[in-house]
Structure 1
Amino acid sequence: MPFLRKIVVAVVASLLSGISGSLAADGIPSSAIAACTKLSQDPNFAHAFTGSPQYDHDISHWSNASSLPSLCTMEPSSPQQVQKLFSIINDTRSPWAVKGLGHCNNNNMSATYGLQIDMSRFSQISLSQDKQSVKVGMGVAWGQVYQVLGPHNLTAVGGRSPTVGVAGLSLSSGYSWVTNEYGFAIDNTLAADIVLPNGTFTTVSESHGGDIFRALQGGLNNFGIVTSITLKTHPIGQVWGGSLTISGDLKALVDATVEYSAKPSNPKATLAVEFLAKNGTATGLIIMFYDGAHPPPGLFDAFVKLPNSTGEVKTQSFFEFVQAGEVAASPTNRATWYSAPVLKWTRDMVEYVHQQVIEYSVKLAKQSKSGTLVSGNIEPFGPQAYGFSRGSAWPHDVDHPYNTFNGLMMWSDPSDDKALFPLNVEYHTKVWNKAISLGLSKPKGQVFFPPNYSQNITPVEQIYGANLGWLRKLKQQVDPWGLISLTGGFKI
């Protein structure tokens, strides 16, 4: 850490006042110094500075490329403390960020050089008496939700990895293993507890604060800090599924993917096919899911019978299925992903993705010192998945059932960041342009990207489309002071 930052943190941590604006060198805004000083003077705030375990936890992300060295961090434990935080932000105009569990892969979105807010103390999970809904704190992981609901033979529409946080996914779009059956996570919210920028703590739903409620369905952090969310529950029993890794020639995997994608969509089934490559050598990963003890004959047979495969598919509980799919990241993991809208997965499109993964794994090796992996993820969701929208901020509907191609690049050396973020954008742009040339996608302005799969260069018009009009008007009403503009994310 630069010497001056050490001085500033030491001064703030020791509760000294009168820090001059001249200490705002080294990229530390004087407003952040003022905010962190106020926090450190309140013994009720669980605040931290660099060098402490809490600080390390609060700034951490699944991808270290998304983390920033905040001046100080704070873990609020009640809506009243969030209200106090907004008061401090308003008084100081400090930059700030709010983080759930840190699966956001865009830096400067859930991270900041100023005041980092970590929501991990909002950890409640409460099933309603009639078991029709579950109220979940924004510091909870989806695996915890499934573990609580499982004994009641229930689930919620949520993350596909157990360590993904409820916060980011439920406020963005929310692809799930049961999206084909019940829609996206944002289609299954019933209410949200939120602290507005003016300090008001309220619960919004379709019947109360409906405009804000709709705006939170894809609007992320643009309208305040959500402390908990209430979700519909859905019945679930034993499920069938698992993953297989394919080595060697992947032609049979391409064939099986094309065959599956051409079938009528089964609402109870979900498939993810991922091509992964390192320095020109590719493997395949298949994850299959069926909401039932056994899938219909022929649905996944072509995948189960693939040669050169390892792994396991079986009947199990939903919680067991999700837990088995967790992929741990190394402590030095740095990663970025992006999306490209694709209407159908034809042979030309699937094979193009396969080849681009190989091509860009070679580019990754040439253009970086520490690049480890390139992936391309194909997820043939059915059109019915897009029919549950209630007029949310993020536009999605059954007439425009675009699947999201999602690709990932991974590396470990921070000095590679500058080259690899734009390389990943180039990679996805090629896939998108290929889909357009095949009549499987449309140009900018005619298709919309899900916010949680989008790079930070994506203009908000490309995410919210015509909804930007009412969203911007609502934001001006909710936040005329511009407090939300002091944080990162896709700013409406």
Structure 2
Amino acid sequence: MVAYRAQLALTLLASAIQVSANTKLELGPRGIFDPVCKRIREETPDSTEVYYIGHPKYHKGISHWSSASVQYSECVVEPSTAAEVGHVLNIVSETRTPFAVKGGGHSTNPGFSSTEGVHISMAQFSEVKYDLATETAEVGAGLIWDDVYEALEPYGVNVVGGRVHGVGVAGFTLGGGYSWKTNQYGLTVDTVVAYELVKPDSSVVTVTADSDPDLFWGLKGGLNNFGIVTKFTLKTHPQGEVWGGVATYTRTGIPAISAATAAFSANVTDPKASIITTYNYIGVDVGISLLMFYDGPTPPAGIFDSFLAVPHLTKDVSTRSFLSLVKASPVEFTNGLRSHFQMVPVLDYSSTTGAESLTLRSGLFFSYAVEPFLPNIYAHNIQGETAYPTARDRFYSPFNIFFGWLSPLEDSTFQSSVLESARALVAAATSEGQSNLDSISLYPNYASSRMPLSQVYGANVPRLRALKGRVDPGDVMGLAGGFKF
């Protein structure tokens, strides 16, 4: 597996060099929206930066973890205040210019946070403020979770956020948010107490459960349909040292780790304990990457013993800070691949995947991530209903499928293959007695853009459409990508 990692890194480097050599001619802006970019530059304060292709901040602005999600916009705009975001939004609305809003850029859905028009980068919204009196943290929409954890660490507190390195705050939170702390505190949306929102009419408002209950509900899982969120106010909780990290296993360890994962999912009820077991196919090899977490310096005996007893290939597991644990995740290994997600809702897990038939194409990396949670996680929400999950009386753990490849000519093939694999897994789980899986609303942050709106938001679609009509009657946010109401 180590050899395959080295080969993959070299292949990715060669691919990146080739792509960078060709993209300006083939994918660069064609000037269609240049008048809009010039107008933004002329009519906004100097603190609103406008960058064009060739500038380092342009390329940083449009970059995504999945290279398949990158589009070459006419310009990248970096506002510095909510009012400036409103000014930019007013210009793109008036000119009906397609635009994108990007926080961390971790979406694998092309066009969800990218555009050929005006690309709005939230990079300048990078502040974290901790309020001891209210035990909340104000978090800028341009941050990744690593930054948030680092800023809060000196205060001995934390928030319910992303589990792996590099994930952005904004998209993650607006889609729901499964965390290492979810067993204890619920989803990230369950901990948001306020949103600073630039509405489609460019006005800046603070949305709370009291100020606008319906909009507050819609922002909890409804993604970017109701304006541009510039700041989140989140509940905090005490945070000390944690235990965990990542261990990898070769093919011979798969049966034992699969059995240990099934036993963990069925028997471990300690809310401080959590795992992600990922079955990885690299080239023609297969193995497991296991992330383990315990919210304390030492886990009780028995919780992780069966995992640690299996001979490993590599292991980075220790008592450490929360930030250190998050940074131990191996997600950078696939940074830059063309990739796609799809989620399968399951009650019980199987290691059956069937990705081997695709490894002879340009696909380099396939993974199937088992993410067991306690069945009571939806009960932590005390603020009422949320746009996601659609129903809180039916719990299914998210099972995430990830395919990574190199050639843009095979985007459609691999995106379709992800969905085929998901359908096969649903059929297998159904045959084993897990009923009504097709009726479960998918986790928006794992759902393929090819999914119909009803598959993601289910019975909430009519209410979300009505809310959209009230907040955005001119369909300004329809000029941006994403699941649209």
Q: Is the structural similarity TM-score above 0.5?
A: yes
- What's the counterpart of residue 393 of structure 1? 387
- What's the counterpart of residue 374 of structure 1? 366
2:280 is aligned with 1:262:
no
- What's the counterpart of residue 39 of structure 1? 40
- What's the counterpart of residue 24 of structure 1? none
Please list the CA deviations of residues 233-285 of structure 1 after superposition, one character each: whole Å capped at 9, or x if unmatched.
Answer: 01121211111111131211111112212204221111111111134421111
Structure 1 residue ranges, 4+ long, deviating more than 3 angstroms after superposition: 1-9, 329-332
- What's the counterpart of residue 182 of structure 2? 179
- What's the counterpart of residue 448 of structure 2? 455
- What's the counterpart of residue 438 of structure 1? 432
The secondary structure found in structure 2 opposite 1:58 is helix
> What is the aligned counterpart of 2:415 among 390, 396, 421?
421
- What's the counterpart of residue 19 of structure 2? none
> What is the aligned counterpart of 1:384 among 361, 371, 376?
376
Deviation, structure 1 residue 180? 0.7
Normalising by structure 2, report the TM-score: 0.90
1:68-79 to structure 2, matched below 5 A, reads 68-79=71-82
1:137-156 to structure 2, matched below 5 A, reads 137-156=140-159
Deviation, structure 1 residue 336? 1.1
Please list the CA deviations of residues 210-229 of structure 1 after superposition, one character each: whole Å capped at 9, or x if unmatched.
Answer: 21111100011000000000
**Alignment partners' CA distance in 2, 1:197 and 1:253:** 49
2:484 is aligned with 1:483:
no
Please list the CA deviations of residues 426-470 of structure 1 after superposition, one character each: whole Å capped at 9, or x if unmatched.
Answer: 1111112211222224243x2110100000011111111111122
- What's the counterpart of residue 7 of structure 2? none
Deviation, structure 1 residue 420? 1.0
**Alignment partners' CA distance in 1, 2:312 and 2:473:** 60
Q: Which amino acid aligns with 1:374?
A: F
> What is the aligned counterpart of 1:63 among 46, 51, 66?
66
2:301 is aligned with 1:301:
no
Please list the CA deviations of residues 309-334 of structure 1 after superposition, one character each: whole Å capped at 9, or x if unmatched.
Answer: 42032222212211222532467422
Distance 1:434 1:5, change over 3 A: closer
Distance 1:472 1:398, change over 3 A: closer
Q: Which amino acid aligns with 2:468?
A: K
- What's the counterpart of residue 133 of structure 2? 130
Equivalent residues, number? 458
2:468 is aligned with 1:467:
no
Contact 1:272 1:377 in 2 (8 A): yes
The secondary structure found in structure 2 opposite 1:73 is strand
The secondary structure found in structure 1 opposite 2:202 is coil
> After alignment, is 293-302 or 33-42 more displaced?
33-42
2:309 is aligned with 1:311:
no
Contact 2:390 2:459 in 1 (8 A): no
**Alignment partners' CA distance in 2, 1:451 and 1:4:** 31
Distance 1:463 1:6, change over 3 A: closer
**Alignment partners' CA distance in 1, 2:145 and 2:28:** 37
1:206-285 to structure 2, matched below 5 A, reads 206-249=209-252, 250-285=254-289
Deviation, structure 1 residue 387? 1.5
Distance 1:55 1:302, change over 3 A: same
**Alignment partners' CA distance in 2, 1:330 and 1:289:** 22
Deviation, structure 1 residue 72? 1.4
Deviation, structure 1 residue 121? 0.5
Please list the CA deviations of residues 24-60 of structure 1 after superposition, one character each: whole Å capped at 9, or x if unmatched.
Answer: xxxx5xxx34422312434623111211112101111
**Alignment partners' CA distance in 2, 1:166 and 1:66:** 18
> What is the aligned counterpart of 2:171 among 168, 173, 177?
168
- What's the counterpart of residue 16 of structure 1? none
The secondary structure found in structure 1 opposite 2:449 is coil
Q: Which amino acid aligns with 2:101?
A: V
Deviation, structure 1 residue 339? 0.5
Q: Which amino acid aligns with 2:476?
A: L
Contact 1:383 1:398 in 2 (8 A): no
Contact 2:175 2:445 in 1 (8 A): yes
Deviation, structure 1 residue 308? 3.7
The secondary structure found in structure 2 opposite 1:41 is helix
Contact 2:250 2:287 in 1 (8 A): yes
The secondary structure found in structure 2 opposite 1:451 is coil
2:76 is aligned with 1:83:
no
Distance 1:110 1:441, change over 3 A: farther
Q: Which amino acid aligns with 1:274?
A: T
- What's the counterpart of residue 295 of structure 2? 291
Contact 1:386 1:396 in 2 (8 A): no
**Alignment partners' CA distance in 2, 1:220 and 1:472:** 13
> After alignment, is 157-166 or 312-321 more displaced?
312-321
Deviation, structure 1 residue 304? 0.8
- What's the counterpart of residue 18 of structure 2? none
Segments of structure 1 that go 5 or more residues without pairing to the other structure are 10-27
**Alignment partners' CA distance in 1, 2:29 and 2:374:** 56
**Alignment partners' CA distance in 2, 1:351 and 1:51:** 45
**Alignment partners' CA distance in 1, 2:90 and 2:73:** 19
Distance 1:7 1:408, change over 3 A: closer
Normalising by structure 1, report the TM-score: 0.89
Identity of aligned residues (%): 37
Contact 2:28 2:73 in 1 (8 A): no
Q: Which amino acid aligns with 2:117?
A: G
**Alignment partners' CA distance in 1, 2:29 and 2:320:** 55
Contact 1:277 1:374 in 2 (8 A): yes
Distance 1:381 1:95, change over 3 A: same
**Alignment partners' CA distance in 2, 1:2 and 1:259:** 52
**Alignment partners' CA distance in 2, 1:121 and 1:403:** 35
